[in-house]
Amino acid sequence: MDHLRCVVERITYQNAENGFSVIKCRAKGYNDLVTVVGSMPDVHVGSVLTMQGQWRNDGKYA
């Protein structure tokens, strides 16, 4: 599992019913914003997140 710590810059999509979110984050070591997709029911712009998972490039969320 990879780990990522980032600051939420923008919320592209958020479903209030199930917490599914698409967010853009600023992360150290990345020039561009990183898109993160998953269940994040209480995320806000400015939140600092530490996440783990499997990272991949996916044109659907770029």
Instruction: Check pLDDT > 70 for residue 62.
Output: no
Q: Which pLDDT score is estimated for 23?
A: 95
Q: What is the pLDDT of residue 48?
A: 96
| DSSP state letters, 24-62 | EEEETT-SSPEEEEEE-TT--TT-EEEEEE-----TTT-
In this prediction, residue 1 carries a pLDDT of: 65
Q: What is the pLDDT of residues 7-60, one digit of tens each?
A: 999 999 999 999 999 999 999 989 999 999 999 988 999 999 999 888 777 777
Prediction pTM value: 0.83
User: Is the Cα torsion angle 36, 42, 47, 50 positive or negative in sign?
Assistant: negative
